[in-house]
């Protein structure tokens, strides 16, 4: 059974190939013994790749336990920057909702309300969403690098992770936009294909981090390499995220503003809802980042010979 590296071990992972990190010359790591036949295989000592669900779960939870501090720090960095803007947008939205309800309730025959404030809030919300999404993409990609670093050395340098992730932010946004369009087409055809598209592209951040070009096609190929294993891992990630999100939505329903809500409670409720949503996003990010990376590694190992040193070398030469 694989055990997470000790936080004091900075020499690299010690598997059957006794790898100790990329060479100074930048040469590719030597082939591992289980890859000698040129076919996909699994090393029981590999910190990211596992042959079954139990191994994937053990590696994922082991990385979470060993690296929750840098993963949490990374998520909090994005949350602290975006929280004030999101809080302001949420407060303005609550004000507009209250005014709309008042306008409708005070008229026997409702007339079209003034949507000027709504339009202004919409543009403000779009601006806030753009900034928040850029931060989200940066944190998402940096999380992939943090997971690999924790799995191989037991520690992570957030500055290096963010610097490496910054170069892939716009490619990730571009590919995610295409996925969104693909999901929209799938939704127009039938609701069920949307879940298929989202499941197949769940490892998109990892593919964008480690590989170049043909990202969406690559996601589908990896997903279908072993459909049962892929579905089990992706369903677990989605299930955990959905369960936490549903639990967090309860306070949002309770704090929904009404026409008679005074300004103080309205502002407090909007801020509380924003904080709850941010905390939930942080928690989901910490838990699912290792699971997505290890799921990607498992899927790819079923398509081609792969080891963690290969992934590390790809990050170093990206």
Q: What angle do CA 142, 236, 311 make, to 5 degrees?
A: 35
Give the 3-state secondary structure of residue 197: helix
Q: What is the pLDDT of residue 89?
A: 72
The owner of tokens 């010359």 is 25
pLDDT of 105 > 70? The answer is: no
Distance in angstroms (rounded) separating the CA atoms of residues 310 and 27: 11
The C-alpha R_g of the chain, in whole angstroms, comes to 23
Q: Give tens-digit pLDDT for 162-175.
A: 999 999 999 999 99
C-beta neighbour count of 188 within 10 angstroms: 10
Q: Is the pTM of this model over 0.85?
A: no
Distance in angstroms (rounded) separating the CA atoms of residues 105 and 317: 62
pLDDT of 31 > 50? The answer is: no
Q: Give tens-digit pLDDT for 50-100.
A: 989 999 999 999 999 999 999 999 999 988 888 877 777 777 776 666 666
28 DSSP assignment: P
Residue 67 to residues 147, 187, 290: CA-CA distances in angstroms?
7, 37, 9
- Nearest CA-CA partner of 129 in 173, 178, 86: 86
Contact yes or no for 49/222 (Cβ under 8 A): no
Distance in angstroms (rounded) separating the CA atoms of residues 302 and 67: 26
Give the 3-state secondary structure of residue 17: coil
Q: Give tens-digit pLDDT for 219-271.
A: 999 999 999 999 999 999 999 988 888 877 776 666 665 545 566 666 777 77
């Amino acid at each position: 059974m694989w055990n997470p590296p000790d936080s004091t071990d900075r020499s690299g992972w010690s598997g059957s190939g006794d790898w100790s990190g990329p060479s100074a010359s930048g040469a590719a790591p030597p082939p591992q013994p289980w890859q000698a036949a040129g076919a996909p295989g699994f090393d029981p000592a590999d910190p990211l790749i596992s042959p079954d669900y139990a191994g994937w779960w053990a590696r994922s939870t082991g990385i979470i336990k060993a690296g929750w501090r840098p993963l949490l720090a990374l998520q909090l960095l994005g949350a602290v920057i975006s929280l004030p803007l999101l809080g302001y947008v949420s407060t303005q939205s609550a004000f507009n909702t209250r005014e709309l309800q008042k306008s409708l309730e005070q008229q026997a025959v409702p007339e079209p309300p003034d949507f000027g404030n709504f339009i202004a809030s919409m543009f403000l919300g779009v601006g806030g969403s753009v900034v928040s999404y850029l931060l989200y993409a940066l944190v998402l990609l940096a999380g992939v690098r943090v997971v690999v670093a924790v799995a191989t050395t037991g520690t992570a340098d957030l500055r290096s992770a963010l610097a490496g992730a910054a170069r892939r932010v716009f490619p990730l946004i571009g590919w995610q936009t295409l996925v969104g369009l693909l999901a929209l087409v799938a939704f127009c055809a039938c609701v069920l294909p949307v879940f298929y598209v989202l499941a197949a592209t769940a490892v998109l951040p990892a593919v964008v981090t480690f590989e170049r070009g043909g990202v969406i096609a690559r996601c589908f190929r990896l997903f279908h390499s072993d459909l049962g294993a892929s579905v089990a891992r992706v369903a677990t990630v989605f299930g955990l995220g959905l369960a936490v999100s549903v639990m967090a939505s309860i306070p949002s329903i309770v704090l929904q503003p009404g026409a008679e809500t005074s300004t103080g409670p309205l502002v407090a409720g909007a801020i509380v809802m924003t904080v709850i949503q941010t905390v939930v996003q942080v928690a989901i990010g910490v838990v699912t980042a290792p699971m997505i990376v290890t799921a990607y590694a498992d899927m790819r190992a079923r398509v081609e010979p792969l080891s963690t040193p290969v992934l590390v070398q790809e990050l170093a030469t990206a």
